[in-house]
């Protein structure tokens, strides 16, 4: 069973910007019309609560964010701040929580399940400040909530965005129950933090090297760490046509990347929560196609 989570409120007006916020709606519309996803279930999220935000973020930062103030704590988002924009992030975080909960629900009945939030992956947000298009670290909040409710103990974050998940790495530093793995372009934003395992790639790295490294490390970590859930950041931005990076993965290579992660989860019977993360292709339709391919791979491997 695969559950996709979406809300029209994932869209927010950020003005002229490299971040194509319309991609969430366009992705949803493609999925609803795709015969390959006819068996998928769609659900709508609610915004994350203040109490759940506090599992990761400081009160001072949350207060500034929820009062829509441009301060030293919010300005490094590199985005405007408004009620609509912050609502997109809080409801998007609710979507990641819901997708994770749905993946776990079927697992409790002996089924291997997957949930995918059609936004999320805001991995540059730190406990006390915003960074890099990210106001709320949705994956970190979801993990802490699931741990608090004793639904999981051990979580494996597989971050395949173009950029290192610096906020996520910082949040879970020293935590033996969360394994943070990031494979990213090294010579690029952001200022790096230390994940449990970082693979920093040279500029112009292509499919063969990337997929070989992923195939070498992800199965080994799954075997040794034995997570209760995997959070997969399926960024479209390692694509060769992305505006913000210079990795050289093809669409075919990105599809194989997704399949490596999903097959390992299915093999070990571990539920997976997928978030779309980044994607800034010169042609937005390429970003949408990459995300659609992730959804198709998820359905191919997890659909009953």
**Sheet strand arrangement including 197-201:** 41-43, 2-5, 114-117, 272-275, 229-233, 155-159, 178-185, 197-201
Q: Considering the domain 2-302 in this protein, what is its CATH number?
A: 3.40.800.20
> What token pair was written down for 4?
């996709």
Task: Provide the pLDDT for residue 111.
Answer: 64
Mean pLDDT by groups of 10 residues along the chain of 304 residues: 95 96 97 86 97 98 97 97 98 98 78 90 98 98 98 98 98 98 98 98 98 98 98 98 98 98 96 98 98 96 80
Using an 8 Å Cβ cutoff, are 65 and 135 in contact? yes
Rounded to whole angstroms, how far apart are CA atoms 220 and 267?
A: 13
The residue extents of the domains of the chain are 2-302
pLDDT, residue 107, reads 64
Look at residue 40 in the predicted model and tell me its pLDDT: 85
Return the pLDDT at 113.
84
């Amino acid at each position: 069973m695969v559950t996709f989570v979406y809300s029209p409120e994932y869209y927010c007006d950020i003005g002229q910007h490299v971040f194509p916020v319309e991609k969430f709606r366009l992705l949803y519309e493609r999925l609803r019309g795709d015969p390959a996803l006819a068996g998928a279930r769609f659900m709508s999220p609610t915004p994350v609560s203040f109490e759940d935000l506090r599992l990761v973020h400081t009160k001072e930062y949350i207060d500034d964010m929820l009062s829509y103030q441009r301060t030293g704590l919010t300005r490094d988002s590199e985005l405007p701040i408004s009620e609509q924009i912050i609502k997109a992030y809080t409801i998007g975080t609710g979507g990641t929580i819901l997708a994770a909960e749905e993946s776990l629900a079927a697992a409790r009945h002996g089924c291997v399940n997957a949930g995918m939030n059609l936004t999320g992956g805001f991995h540059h947000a730190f406990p006390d400040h915003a960074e890099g298009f990210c106001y709320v670290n949705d994956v970190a909040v979801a993990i802490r909530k699931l741990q608090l409710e004793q639904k999981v103990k051990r979580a494996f974050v597989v971050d395949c965005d173009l950029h290192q998940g610096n906020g996520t790495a910082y949040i879970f530093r020293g935590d033996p129950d969360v394994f943070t793995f990031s494979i990213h372009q090294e010579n690029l934003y952001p200022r790096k933090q230390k994940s449990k395992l970082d693979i920093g790639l040279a500029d112009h790295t292509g499919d063969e090297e990337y997929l070989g490294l992923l195939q070498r490390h992800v199965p080994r970590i799954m075997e040794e760490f034995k997570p209760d859930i995997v959070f997969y950041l399926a960024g479209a931005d390692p694509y060769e046509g992305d505006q913000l990076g210079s990795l050289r993965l093809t669409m075919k290579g990105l599809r194989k990347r997704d399949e490596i992660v999903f097959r390992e989860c299915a093999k070990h019977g571990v539920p997976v929560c997928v978030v779309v993360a980044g994607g800034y292709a010169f042609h937005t339709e390429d970003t949408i196609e990459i995300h659609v391919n992730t959804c198709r791979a998820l359905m191919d491997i997890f659909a009953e």
